[in-house]
Structure 1
Amino acid sequence: METARDPGKAVETGSPSDEELADRVKKGETALFEVLMRRLNVRVYRAVRALVSDEAEVEDVMQQAYLLAFSHLGQFEGHSKFSTWLIRIAVNEALLRLRQRNRLVALDEREGSDVDSEGDMKLEGRNTPDPERRAYDRELVRFLESAIDALPAPHKVVLMLREVDGLSTAETAEVLSTNEETVRTRLHRARAFLREELDARIGGQLHEAFSFHATRCDRVVAAVMARLTPS
C-alpha cells in the first residue's frame, strides 16, 4: 500500500487517536509513524530519563525503542493505549542497557504495604508575568530535576511516569510489570522525599521537568525515519 508522503497532511482532516495512527502505519502508511513519535516523544523521553542519566544514551535508547515498536507493530492489538505499550518498550530497553553495564537497580525489590492511598501533593500555582519570575521558576524546575534524580530508581521511575508524565496508576503498573499497590507505595515515598527536599519552595512547575526540546525531538525523529525509509 502507498506510503503517506506528508504526515502532517495525512492527519489534517481530523485528529486520529494514537491507536488509529498505529493501525494505519501497520497497513502501510509508514510516514505516519513520525506523527506518533512527535506526539509521544516527551513521554518516552521522561520514562527513559528516569532510568538513564546520560542524555546521549537516552536519545539512543529512544531511537532503539521506536525501531523496536515499529518492527513489532503487528503485536499491538489495542488492548491498552498505544502510548502505554510504547513506553513499556522504552522502559524495557532502558533496563536492558543498565543490565548490559552491570549496574541495574532492580525494579521489583520488595516493598512494604503501609500505604493504602495515593494522597495528594498540593502544588501552589504561581503566576509568572515578568522575566525575573520566569527565571526563578526555571531555576525551581532545575531544582526539581535535581531532587528527582536523587531518588532511588524504583521510586524515580514511578514518580516520573505518574506525576511528570501523567500516566494512571494502572498504566504505570502495566508499564513496570508490577501491581498497583506497589506503584502507590513507591509514589508515596517519592512524594515524601520531595517534600523534604523542596519544602515550601515547590510550585506548580513539576509538569515542566525534563522538557524534550524541539531540536532533540527533530534529531530523534530524523534518525528513526532515516532507518525506516528505504534507500
Structure 2
Amino acid sequence: MKAQPIQQDRIFIGPASAEEELIAAAQNHNEDAVRELIRRLNPRIFRVARGIMASDAEAEEVVQETYLKAFTKLDTFRGEARFSTWITRIAVNTALMQARRAHLQEEYDTVTEDVNFTSRVVVFPGQEANRPEADMGRSQMRVFLEDAIGCLPAELRLPFLMREAEGMSVLDIAKDLSLNPITVKTRLFRARRRLRTALEGRIGGGFDAIFPFDGKRCVNMADRVVDQLKVEGRL
C-alpha cells in the first residue's frame, strides 16, 4: 500500500509524517491521517490478531474492530504509552473477546519452568549458508511458515509472532500481554521447540515474511474503517 503525501490544513500527511502529527490530525478527523496510521499499523495489528485467532478471516475482523474502537475513542489517548502499544492492547483485548464468543478462549497462565534461554532451538531462516532449501520461493516459504505457526496454540503463537515477526522485545511483549517476562521467555522457548522439526532444513527466508498485511488488503482495510467512521460521524 503506497501512501501519497497530501497537504491538508497546513499539515503534511505522508509516509514521513511524525506519529504525533498524525495522531493530532486524526483527532481532528483528518481522513488522510487515519489512513496513514492504518497503513503503518496494519502488519503489527494483523499479526497480533492472527496470533490469537485461528484463521486469517477471523483475524481481519479483529483488525477492523480494533481500528473502529481506537479511532472512536482516540480523544482518550494521552500519549502516556506509545500509540502502537495502546492500540496493540486494544487488539489483544478485542481478539480475546471474540475468541471467547467463539468458545476458543485460551488461558494465559503464569508458567514457571527452568529452561536454558541461551540455547538455539530453531534454525532461523537464512542463518545457514548454502542450504539446498535456499532455492525455495519466498512465497512458498511464507505459506509453509504460516501453516507451521498456525498450528501452534494461541498462547505460544501470539508472543512468537510479536517477537519474531514484529521484532518486539520480551519486555514490551510482557507489558502488552500483562505477563511476567519469564513467562514470555518460556512461551517463546516452547514455540521455537515445537517449530524446530517443522522448520529446520526446509526454509530459506525470514520470519518477517509471515502473515503479511499489505497491498490491496491494506487499502481495503483502510477503506472499510474510514467508511464506517464516516457513517458514525467520526470523519
Same fold judged by TM-score > 0.5? yes
Deviations, residues 1-26 of structure 1 (Å, cap 9, x unaligned): xxxxx973143688233243213322
Which residue is equivalent to 2:161? 160
Contact 2:160/2:188 (8 A) holds in 1 = yes
Calculate the aligned-residue CA RMSD, in Å. Answer: 2.7
Which residue is equivalent to 1:133? 135
CA distance in 2, matches of 1:56, 1:13: 29
Which residue is equivalent to 1:3? none
* Aligned-residue identity in percent: 34
Q: Structure 2 counterpart of 1:153, which letter?
A: A
Which residue is equivalent to 1:34? 35
Deviations, residues 90-119 of structure 1 (Å, cap 9, x unaligned): 111111001112220112x23123136465
Change (3 A) 1:222 1:12: closer
With structure 2 as the length reference, what TM-score do the two structures score?
Answer: 0.83
Deviations, residues 101-155 of structure 1 (Å, cap 9, x unaligned): 2220112x2312313646555533589xxxx9363x3222211111111111111
CA distance in 1, matches of 2:74, 2:115: 37
CA distance in 2, matches of 1:17, 1:186: 34
Does 2:107 align with 1:102?
A: no
Contact 1:25/1:32 (8 A) holds in 2 = yes
Contact 2:13/2:36 (8 A) holds in 1 = no
Change (3 A) 1:69 1:211: same
* Aligned residue-pair number: 221
Other structure's SS at 2:52 match: coil
Contact 2:49/2:91 (8 A) holds in 1 = yes
Other structure's SS at 1:159 match: helix
Contact 1:7/1:32 (8 A) holds in 2 = no
Unmatched 5+ stretches in structure 2: none
Change (3 A) 1:177 1:197: same
CA distance in 1, matches of 2:4, 2:162: 28
CA distance in 1, matches of 2:139, 2:149: 15
With structure 1 as the length reference, what TM-score do the two structures score?
Answer: 0.84
Which residue is equivalent to 1:64? 65
Change (3 A) 1:187 1:81: same
Change (3 A) 1:147 1:219: same
Q: Structure 1 counterpart of 2:96, which letter?
A: L
Give the CA deviation at 1:205. Answer: 2.0
Change (3 A) 1:181 1:29: same
Which residue is equivalent to 1:179? 180
Which residue is equivalent to 2:6? 9
Give the CA deviation at 1:80. Answer: 2.2
Q: Structure 1 counterpart of 2:135, which letter?
A: R
Change (3 A) 1:202 1:164: same
Q: Which runs of 4+ in 1 moved over 6 A?
A: none
